[in-house]
């Protein structure tokens, strides 16, 4: 089946720890995106990548890092510098900038 997978579904982190969220797609999409969603809020863009080995900061990149070594994979690291990381994290992909974005199932991160 074609789609976007994210793991883990739930993640708990202690303050001061870095954690990495996985995002994989087998849709042969060039572009991939990371969003953060807080309760009752819209989607805020963290990072995006239009091509392998290249990525750009979104609106709230501080405290996050990404890599894009393979077309299929776009992992997101939430660093200890992110002051309030508890949120629902969504990965998305598409063929290019103006195309429909498809979302993965999301990872819910909770900082203890």
Partner 1 sequence: QKEVEQNSGPLSVPEGAIASLNCTYSDRGSQSFFWYRQYSGKSPELIMSIYSNGDKEDGRFTAQLNKASQYVSLLIRDSQPSDSATYLCAVNVRNSGNTPLVFGKGTRLSVIA
Interaction of residue 52 with partner 1, rule CB under 8 A: no
Nearest to 20 by CA among 61, 54, 66: 66
Residue 105 in contact with partner 1, rule: CB under 8 A: yes
Does position 45 bind partner 1 by CB under 8 A?
Answer: yes
Asked whether position 98 contacts partner 1 by CB under 8 A, the answer is yes
Applying CB under 8 A, among 19, 104, 109, 111 the residue interacting with partner 1 is 104
Q: From CA 12, how far away is CA 45, in angstroms rounded? A: 22
Q: Which residues between 61 and 90 bind partner 1 (CB under 8 A)?
A: 90
CB 7 within 8 A of CB 17: no
How many residues sit close enough to partner 1 to count as binding (CB under 8 A)? 21
b/e 29-51 (16+ beta carbons within 10 angstroms → b): bbbbbbbbeeeeeebebbbbbee
| Interface residues toward partner 1, by CB under 8 A | 31, 33, 41-43, 45, 48, 50, 56, 90, 94, 97-106
């Amino acid at each position: 089946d074609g789609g976007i997978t994210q793991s883990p579904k739930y993640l708990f982190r202690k303050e001061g720890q870095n954690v990495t969220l996985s995002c994989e797609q087998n849709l042969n999409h060039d572009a991939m995106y990371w969003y953060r969603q807080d309760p009752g809020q819209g989607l805020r863009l963290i990072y995006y990548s239009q091509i392998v080995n290249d990525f750009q900061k979104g609106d709230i990149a501080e405290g996050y890092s990404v890599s894009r070594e393979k077309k299929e994979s776009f992992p997101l690291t939430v660093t200890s510098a992110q002051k309030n990381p508890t949120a629902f994290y969504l990965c998305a992909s598409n063929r290019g900038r103006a195309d429909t974005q498809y979302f993965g199932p999301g990872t819910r991160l909770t900082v203890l």
